[in-house]
């Protein structure tokens, strides 16, 4: 992992060691959780993979009691199409409560991919399971279905990136329904199918023959799932209030 850590540190340096806007400076200085996301989180990276960064910050009190407001802050590094995002804690809790893929799963990355936990970032990680509900699966199914329908409509024989991501989402959704926790890293067999689809070794038509039954299986499992249909909003709200109060009292 030493080479990868060097790559992660370089990404963080590129993110923050430059001319930042006032909002970017604030988000950086009040960041409570910073993780490596994307292909590294899913175990699908290769030597050419970019480092995607995501995080959560607790704005200072003027953003709660004053006229200023912020939901999320984006950072654009040079020579990259993707942007890195830090979510305000309130926005993060709202999206995570909705089961939004790409948000709630930030709390479930491998511990080696957690780059910073601020003063109380571990509090978020310890309470991550309150965000798990059937809405997480619905979110993943929604993205996977959109990609599947797009390829079926176009009649493409090259699956590439969209269907590879559909496989990843459905594999993760199935594992969530089986284990009642988020396991982002793909198993060896699932990873092989993802890689074959992404590289084009498995063409679009063959990929769809595997994807559609997998989607149907996830939907059947969802109908009998032990996951709660939605989060306990009272519990989530209490955690948000307690956490925000705890951080603000320390001035960070």
87: CATH: 3.30.460.10
Question: Does 126 share its domain with 175?
Answer: no
Per-residue pLDDT for 103 more than 90? yes
Q: Count up the domains in the chain and report the number.
A: 2
Q: What single-letter DSSP state applies at residue 24?
A: H
Alpha-carbon Rg of the chain, whole angstroms? 19
Mean pLDDT for 157-171 is 86
Mean pLDDT over each residue of the chain, to the nearest integer: 91
pLDDT at 234: 98
pLDDT at 159: 63
Domain that holds residue 84: 2-130+231-249
Question: Does 49 share its domain with 124?
Answer: yes
Question: Does 50 share its domain with 145?
Answer: no
pLDDT at 149: 86
Of 168, 151, 165, 153, which is closest to residue 206 (Cα–Cα)?
Answer: 151
| DSSP states along 160-225 | HHHHHHHHHHHHHHHHHHHHSS---SPPHHHHHHHHHHHHTSS-HHHHHHHHHHHHHHHHHHHHT-
Per-residue pLDDT for 83 more than 80? yes
pLDDT at 31: 95
pLDDT per position as a tens digit, 6-32 = 899 898 988 887 789 999 999 999 999
Of 29, 14, 33, 117, which is closest to residue 75 (Cα–Cα)?
Answer: 14
Question: Does 65 share its domain with 92?
Answer: yes
Question: Does 19 share its domain with 95?
Answer: yes
Question: Does 59 share its domain with 119?
Answer: yes
């Amino acid at each position: 992992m030493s080479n990868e850590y060097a790559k992660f540190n370089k990404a963080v340096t590129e993110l923050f060691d430059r001319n930042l806007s006032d909002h970017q400076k604030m988000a950086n200085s009040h960041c409570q959780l910073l993780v490596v996301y994307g292909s590294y989180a899913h175990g699908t990276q290769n030597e050419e993979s970019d480092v995607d960064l995501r995080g959560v910050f607790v704005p200072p009190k003027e953003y709660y009691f004053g006229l200023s407001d912020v939901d999320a802050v984006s950072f654009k590094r040079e020579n990259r199409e993707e942007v890195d995002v830090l979510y305000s804690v309130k926005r993060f809790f709202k999206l995570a409560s909705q089961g939004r893929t790409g948000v709630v799963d930030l709390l479930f990355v491998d511990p080696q991919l957690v780059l910073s936990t601020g003063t109380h970032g571990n509090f978020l990680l310890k309470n991550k399971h309150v965000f798990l509900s059937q809405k997480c699966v619905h979110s993943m199914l929604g993205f996977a279905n959109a990609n599947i329908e797009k390829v079926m409509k176009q009649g493409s024989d090259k699956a590439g990136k969209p269907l590879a991501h559909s496989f990843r989402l459905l594999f993760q959704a199935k594992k969530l329904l089986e284990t009642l926790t988020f396991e982002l890293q793909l198993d060896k067999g699932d990873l092989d199918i993802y890689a074959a689809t992404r590289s084009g070794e498995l063409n679009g038509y063959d990929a769809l023959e595997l994807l559609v039954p997998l989607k149907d299986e996830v939907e059947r499992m969802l109908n009998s799932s032990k996951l709660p249909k939605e989060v306990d909003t009272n519990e989530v709200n209490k955690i948000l209030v307690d956490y925000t109060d705890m951080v603000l009292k320390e001035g960070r």
